[in-house]
Amino acid sequence: MNRYFNTEGICEPRLHYMVNLEDRLEKIKRLLVDRGKYFTITRGRQYGKTTTLQALKHYLETDYLVLFTDFQMLSSTSFKEEASFSKAFAEILEKAFQTTGTKYFKSCPIQEKSVSALSDCTSLRTLFKQISYICKILPVPVVLMIDEADSASDNQIFTDFLSMLRGYYLDRENSPTFHSVILAGVYDIKNLKLKLRPEANHHYNSPWNIAAKFNIEMNFSANQIAGMLLEYESDHHTQMNVQMIADEIYSYTSGYPYFVSAVCKILDEELPEINAFPNEHSVWSHQGIAYAINFLLKEDISLFGNMAKQLDSYEDLRKMIECILYEGRKIAFSPLDRSVSLGTMFGFLKNENGYTVVANRIFEMALLTMFSTKESVNSDTWHYGQREKNQFLSNGRLNMDLILQKFTEHFTDIYGDNDEKFIEKYGRKFFLLYLKPIINGTGNYYLEAQTRDAGRTDVIIDYLGCQYIVEMKIWHGNEYNKRGELQLLEYLNYFHLQKGYLLSFNFNKSKETGIKTIRLNDRIIIEAVV
């Protein structure tokens, strides 16, 4: 059977093209499991947690008896009371013991009998007492893995369960227990209550404060992506530039496992059916990746749906992300801040040089589309863009000169009389709203993180594989303006472009609105002043 890129369920090396996890597994074993640590693997949805757990299970089985359980296998009624939870969890453990521990039971009937006795446990106390006895008589240490640990529908029962784990961990010199316990899910222990009652006041004291920090990198690096693509290339002989493709996929995904696989899957399965790509070599290209990203953003994937759901539930989180993207506000990364903590936990945000930023370009594009869709209902600028979009397209390319000219005219007419604070806060947002219906369905844009600040923001527009760079800046004098021109020139050199664009929001009373052309060396910059 030919391998393929997988975006549903667990990835397996014999079936799927996937990143080599050996280094990750070795670190988890050496730094955490071998040291008897209890820890949580908490990442956003479709981050490869289950794939990592399954791979880790096989990796550890040489030295440990590994029990893998999934809380999604428990019905909601199992969490109603202690007795039902204890019995349901005991049944899962018994099955896991019988699946993985058979070789130990054959030589010792008392061990098999002790495992069978789990089904008689009707309380957490009797359950853990029996687990302790089993761990004592087994010849190898036992590792417990619980996937989807935050599926617990009754927080109190789960809290009691965690407390019991903690108690046995602290007393394991006297009461043998699991050597190591691994919980995996989206919600960490501290924020578990938020899953159930996001509107309530919460206390963050954890019943499992013995948990060690999990600092293992779960994102894929560009080199890891390249390693996966090399395996694909050896099978398909596309003659792609492996490292270049890997670097570009990484630039959009930041190594988010689902997005990496999804982009590759579209390149492998969807694009060969499009006339614009006559062969595999043309698919695995800059233009192909641009098409793949556009495909992905138009799909109704659960990650985007979940993101919309969480932003509806946590209005403060939504407002913070809007400030980051639209206003260029620099927000210090603080795990103690509720919105920062939640956004990081859900996988939408990350720490970059001490500041809170959107985790990757794909999330950013999806967020901007989500925000613009909501804003479009009452946005004059969006409706102007929608009405005029056909005049900006010619032979598959954008007439960016005309787009800036028309936006300048509309902005001056509609918002020219507003004060400086209003324009500084909303000016860039209005341009993005104007641009969105023009490129929607065919192109996308993202904000360059390195220049995203209160003074200036670079917008990278990708339309049918062609890139356009627009620097949006708040006027802070001629010297600042010159620096912006030089920065834009650097980007033009990087993208091998001859022309770039400046959109200046100028509050100088003597300003001249409109379009002008600036020549820097052999490059052309079109500046629009509003």
The model's pLDDT over 4-37, given as tens digits with 9 standing for 90+, comes to: 999 998 999 999 999 999 999 999 999 999 999 9
Enter the pTM of the model.
Answer: 0.88
pLDDT at 417: 72
Q: Please give the average per-residue pLDDT across 297-316, as a whole number.
A: 93
- What percentage of residues in the chain have a pLDDT greater than 90? 51
Work out the pLDDT band at 199, boundaries 50, 70, 90. very low
- Asked if pLDDT for residue 206 goes beyond 90, the answer is no
**CA 475 to centroid of chain Cα atoms:** 34
* DSSP 3-state of 5: coil
Q: Say which CATH class 22-196 falls into.
A: alpha beta
Report which of 221, 208, 220, 290 is spatially closest to residue 258, judged by C-alpha positions. 220
| Rounded Cα distance, 176 and 168, in Å | 8
- Sequence length of the chain is 530
Provide the edge-to-edge strand list for the sheet that holds 466-474. 443-447, 456-463, 466-474, 499-505, 523-529, 514-520
Q: Which residues, in sequence order, are CB contacts of 192 under 8 Å at separation 6+?
A: 150, 152, 155, 158
- Give 241-294 pLDDT, tens digit per residue: 999 999 999 999 999 999 999 999 999 999 998 888 989 999 999 889 989 999
Q: Please give the average per-residue pLDDT across 43-66, as a whole number.
A: 94
**Of the given ranges (199-208, 364-373, 440-449, 492-501), which has the lowest mean pLDDT?**
199-208
Highest mean pLDDT among 152-161, 305-314, 497-506: 305-314
**Of the given ranges (41-50, 356-365, 471-480), which has the lowest mean pLDDT?**
471-480
**CA 168 to centroid of chain Cα atoms:** 35
pLDDT at 429: 86
- Asked if pLDDT for residue 507 goes beyond 80, the answer is no
pLDDT at 198: 47
Tell the burial category of 416 from Cβ atoms under 10 Å away from its Cβ (0-12, 13-18, 19+).
exposed
- Asked if pLDDT for residue 471 goes beyond 50, the answer is yes
Q: Please give the average per-residue pLDDT across 82-88, as a whole number.
A: 86
pLDDT at 137: 86
Mean of per-residue pLDDT scores for the chain:
86
Per the structure block, which two tokens stand in for 523? 């490059």
Q: What is the DSSP string of 417-464?
A: TS-HHHHHHHHHHHHHHHHHHHHTTTEEEEE-GGG-SSSEEEEEEEET
pLDDT at 158: 82
